[in-house]
Amino acid sequence: MTRADAVTRAHAMLRSGEFLSQLDRRVAYQTESQNPDQRDALRAYLIDDLQPAFDKMDFATRLIESPGQKGPYLLAEYHESASAPTVLVYGHGDVVDGMVGEWRDNLDPWRTTQIGNRVYGRGTADNKGQHSINMAALQAVRETRGGKLGFNVKFIIETGEEIGSPDLPQVCESLRDELKADLLLASDGPRLSAERPTLFLGCRGGIRVHLDVNLREGGHHSGNWGGVLANPATILANAIASLVDSHGRLQLEPLKPPRLSNQIRAALADVEVKPTADEPAVSENWGEDGLSAAERLYAWNTLEVLAMSSGNIEKPANAIPGRASAILQLRFVVGTKVDNIAEVIRAHLQARGFSMVEVSATQRFAASRTDFDSPWINWTAESIRKTTGKAPAVLPNFGGSLPNDVFTDILKLPTMWVPHSYPGCSQHAPDEHILLSVTEEALGIMAGLFWDLGELKRPL
Ligand SMILES: [Zn+2]
């Protein structure tokens, strides 16, 4: 039995319908972590569905309760040899709101529906489909190797990712020894494009910056007061413009990341940001000068205005509003100093005469990524190339957020993320789906990776 047999076997799991019937069963659990009425579904998903699936592959499983009374965790372990590499795999069983009634053709989010190349259902892309692919690939390799894998596995599934993984850090901290591994190999988020297999090494961080200008109670007639009362909306607009200019370029040095390394430039040199027909076209003349679209998206910081308000836009009065506020978000890469971001912005605004603008920072998630010198990067990329015949896109991080810092900072693991979804997958919206073509390729990619892991005499 060979590597090619393992890949073929994984592909066959899609063609035979086995994979899709597993996925259909998993999608049926209404594991909405933001919905307190679905607490039982989170637990049932782990106990009734995943545990038996891991049992069949000779994994030892146990449920770990959340220290913060949130959804539980499942830890599944398989040990074969002390000298063989150990991989940690991560996934999440919870999903966002099903949004029943908002799907095309009134599709039921809690079952899978195949239409053409698409398989619809809540969680198909985020993340049930993705961890199911990884479990199926483990099964294919195990069957191909006659009941052995050739390496050790620790598989952790959480049920609180969509509420920000509130106690994943604490749980991983407390299981630090048990979760010891040589690398994290996990799947979440989209590929660069449906056609191109992708490896990303971490994620950007995010932080919200609230700007409030509160000058007085209520509005005052613009005819009686215009010219003698300061306008908070005008002040706010100018304050924002001092932070980010009309082309989306950051105006404040401390909000920028360190200079791009040559390694990052090299990795992104062949990465093209190419929206599909149903996605918006990339804006001309937007973002930092001298960077490619991929560099701006994956290796730079952006300050976005998420929301702003003043007066009543539905029914504007002929009045100078009393207050104005905006919520901005800094998306940032590793190396950006964000600890005292509110103070930095406040000092900047004060120096420019905007001392009436109140600044506060909320909702932060960390940026983290694996260093480009990790030997696992080439190893992973090479394995994907061998399976698919395509050079994968290697991204320093993906644009969104993941609890990657738990794995890099607490467990000190190199983090290899191989996503199985694509940018048009409508995750977190109605019509979430995976593509059959990508799923088949992904089953092969993961079987190839797991096969290759079993060929290593010792960890890299
Ligand atoms: Zn999600």
In the structure encoding, which two tokens stand for residue 438, read together?
């990508």
Residue 315 has pLDDT above 90, yes or no: yes
Distance 192 CA to ligand 1 centre (A): 17
CATH 3.40.630.10 in the chain is located at 3-203+367-455
With 0-12 CB in 10 A as exposed, 13-18 as middle and 19+ as buried, what is 178? Answer: middle
Distance of CA 118 to the CA centre of its chain: 21
Residue 393 and residue 269 in contact, taking contact as beta carbons nearer than 8 Å = no
Distance 189 CA to ligand 1 centre (A): 8
CB count in 10 Å sphere of residue 66: 18
Distance 230 CA to ligand 1 centre (A): 43
Rounded to an integer, what distance in angstroms lies between the CA atom of residue 420 and that of residue 130? 6
- Architecture of 205-257+301-362 per CATH? 2-Layer Sandwich (3.30)
Q: What is the mean pLDDT of residues 215-233?
A: 97
**Which three-class secondary structure state does DSSP give residue 309?**
strand
∠204-419-3 over CA atoms, to 5°? 140
Model confidence over 359-399: pLDDT tens digits? 999 978 889 999 988 999 999 999 999 999 999 999 998 87
Rounded to an integer, what distance in angstroms lies between the CA atom of residue 119 and that of residue 23? 10
Q: Label residue 308 by pLDDT band (50, 70, 90).
A: very high
Rounded to an integer, what distance in angstroms lies between the CA atom of residue 35 and that of residue 26? 18
Length of the chain (residues): 460
Distance 92 CA to ligand 1 centre (A): 9
Distance 26 CA to ligand 1 centre (A): 16
Fill in the DSSP letter of residue 244. B
Q: What is the mean pLDDT of residues 191-210?
A: 94
Q: Label residue 214 by pLDDT band (50, 70, 90).
A: very high
Q: Label residue 280 by pLDDT band (50, 70, 90).
A: confident
Distance 75 CA to ligand 1 centre (A): 20
Helix (H) or strand (E) segment spanning residue 155: strand 152-158
Distance 144 CA to ligand 1 centre (A): 33
Q: Label residue 292 by pLDDT band (50, 70, 90).
A: very high
- Average per-residue pLDDT for the chain: 95
Distance 430 CA to ligand 1 centre (A): 13
Amino acid at 243: L
Q: Is 287 left (phi over 0), alpha (psi -120 to 50) or beta?
A: left
Q: What is the pLDDT of residue 446?
A: 98
Distance 188 CA to ligand 1 centre (A): 8
Rounded to an integer, what distance in angstroms lies between the CA atom of residue 363 and that of residue 207? 6
Amino acid at 59: F
CATH 3.30.70.360 in the chain is located at 205-257+301-362
Q: Label residue 210 by pLDDT band (50, 70, 90).
A: very high
Q: Label residue 54 by pLDDT band (50, 70, 90).
A: very high
**CB burial string 317-326: b at 16+ within 10 A, e below:** eebbbbbbbb
Rounded to an integer, what distance in angstroms lies between the CA atom of residue 63 and that of residue 126? 22
State percent of the chain over pLDDT 90.
92
Residue 27 has pLDDT above 80, yes or no: yes
Beta-ladder partners of 244: 250
Rounded to an integer, what distance in angstroms lies between the CA atom of residue 331 and that of residue 302? 5
Distance 95 CA to ligand 1 centre (A): 7
Distance 163 CA to ligand 1 centre (A): 9
Beta-ladder partners of 29: none
Residue 459 has pLDDT above 90, yes or no: no
Q: What does residue 160 show for φ and ψ, rounded to 5 degrees?
A: -135, 20
Distance 33 CA to ligand 1 centre (A): 11
In the structure encoding, which two tokens stand for residue 373, read together?
């010198």
Rounded to an integer, what distance in angstroms lies between the CA atom of residue 186 and that of residue 170? 20
Distance 94 CA to ligand 1 centre (A): 8
Distance 401 CA to ligand 1 centre (A): 9
Half-sphere exposure in the Cβ direction for 26 (13 Å, CA) = 29
Distance 135 CA to ligand 1 centre (A): 19
Rounded to an integer, what distance in angstroms lies between the CA atom of residue 123 and that of residue 127? 5
What's 3-203+367-455's CATH class? alpha beta
Q: What is the pLDDT of residue 287?
A: 96
